Amino acid sequence: TAAVLGILLIVLWVLAVFRVSQRQLSFSAELTNAIKNGNITVAYQPIVDLSTGRCHGAEALARWQREDGEIISPDLFIPVAEKSNSIHKLTLLVIKRVVEEMGQLLATHDQFSININLSAQDLEHPLIALELKHILDSAKLPASAIKFEITERALVNHEDSRKLISKLRRRGHQMAIDDFGTGYSSLSYLETFELDTLKLDKAFVDAIETHAVTSSVIVHIIEMAKSLELDMVAEGIESAHQVQWLANNGVQRGQGYYYSKPLTAAEFLKYHAKQR
Ligand code: C2E
Ligand code: MG
Ligand code: MG
Ligand code: MG
């Protein structure tokens, strides 16, 4: 009976594993379809000058609305898109959406720009720079209209990343390192990439409030950014106290629910129009 029980357990286990992978397969297949059919929308979160409160840019954040209306967080579907090799299509879709929805605003405000997130795989894609140029050229937008965000994780030991970053910068795009402080903590690699902006991760901004880590860590990051001639954007600002602390310590810009949650294109255009 022990052997029978053992076999039974193995069969049950195999079935369970099969069902999980089935579910993952359908999730990923559904996502691939959504990307193919353009069922991805973009939300825009204002990036604000901390001392003046003025908005000179926004971050484009992908949203997937499923057939049943459920909105899936990019934290859940970006990794799936990366695994199933559809991230490149998704990135191009986001860029096209941004150009469609914000093209007018970008063309008429040369101080205004939109940030787009690139994933590690985008950096290794040989055609991305060319495709990008094509989209911007056909919309008659200068490269300075679009900035790119890359996470620390995507930068580590990639010669491809270095080359692409350099190429995009030569073209006139600004490059930001995203979620700074959460990834590989060796700071020396920062020097080896041509970057313009350091985005301080929300975890540090949270710590200003809770004192979970001493704020001296943030002061050191700010010093380092200065010495590398990077400007700074603080992420996830939720209180006036955080704004004051960051501004007093020399951080120029920030984004977060304190200013605005990510908005639909129509909401963002209204938000932007209202402040002038
Ligand atoms: P991220 O690039 O660091 O974007 C900031 C995230 O923090 C956004 O989450 C935003 O909604 C959230 N956030 C902003 N302010 C606050 C705040 O005050 N409080 C809190 N609690 N959260 C705040 P979201 O939109 O869910 O995006 C999650 C991540 O997914 C992004 O993190 C980014 O890494 C990735 N992502 C989003 N869109 C794209 C995309 O088009 N391509 C790629 N490759 N990644 C994307
Ligand atoms: Mg980002
Ligand atoms: Mg970030
Ligand atoms: Mg983040």
pLDDT of 222-273, one tens digit each?
A: 999 999 999 999 999 999 999 999 999 999 999 999 999 999 999 999 999 9
Which of 40, 59, 61 should be mutated for ligand 1, with most atoms under 8 A from CB? 61
Asked whether the predicted pLDDT for residue 155 surpasses 80, the reply is no
- What's the CA-to-centroid distance between 75 and ligand 1, angstroms? 8
**C-alpha distances out from residue 110 to 42, 113, 143, Å:** 21, 8, 11
Handedness of CA 121, 156, 43, 172 (dihedral sign): negative
Position 152 scores a pLDDT of 82
User: Token pair for residue 111?
Assistant: 């101080």
Those residues with Cβ within 8 angstroms of residue 163's Cβ, 6 or more apart along the chain or in another chain: none
**C-alpha distances out from residue 137 to 126, 142, 171, Å:** 19, 8, 12
pLDDT of 195-210, one tens digit each?
A: 999 999 999 999 887 7
Mean pLDDT across the stretch 208-218?
A: 75
141, 107 in Cβ contact below 8 A?
A: yes
pLDDT of 91-150, one tens digit each?
A: 999 999 999 999 999 999 999 999 999 998 898 887 888 999 999 999 999 999 999 999
- Which residue owns the Cα nearest ligand 1 atom 41? 62
Percent of the chain surpassing pLDDT 90: 69
Alpha-carbon dihedral 187, 188, 194, 195, rounded to 10 degrees: 10
Give the number of the ligand closest to the Cα of residue 78: 1
Position 182 scores a pLDDT of 80
Position 125 scores a pLDDT of 82
Higher pLDDT, 74 or 19: 74
28, 84 in Cβ contact below 8 A?
A: yes
Asked whether the predicted pLDDT for residue 188 surpasses 80, the reply is no
- What's the CA-to-centroid distance between 150 and ligand 3, angstroms? 9
Position 241 scores a pLDDT of 94
ipTM: 0.97
**What whole-number distance in Å separates Cα of residue 146 and Cα of residue 124?**
19
Position 245 scores a pLDDT of 94
pLDDT of 37-92, one tens digit each?
A: 999 999 999 999 999 999 999 999 999 988 888 899 999 999 999 999 999 999 99
Asked whether the predicted pLDDT for residue 36 surpasses 80, the reply is yes
Kindly report whether the global pTM for this prediction surpasses the value 0.95: no
Mean pLDDT across the stretch 206-224?
A: 82
Position 229 scores a pLDDT of 94
Give the number of the ligand closest to the Cα of residue 74: 1
User: Token pair for residue 85?
Assistant: 């090799």
- The minimum-distance atom of ligand 1 relative to the CA of 199 is 3
Largest CA distance in the chain: 79
User: Token pair for residue 190?
Assistant: 């920062």
Position 237 scores a pLDDT of 98
Which of 117, 122, 210 should be mutated for ligand 1, with most atoms under 8 A from CB? 117
pLDDT of 223-235, one tens digit each?
A: 999 999 999 999 9
Residues forming a β-bridge with 75:
none
- What's the CA-to-centroid distance between 178 and ligand 4, angstroms? 7
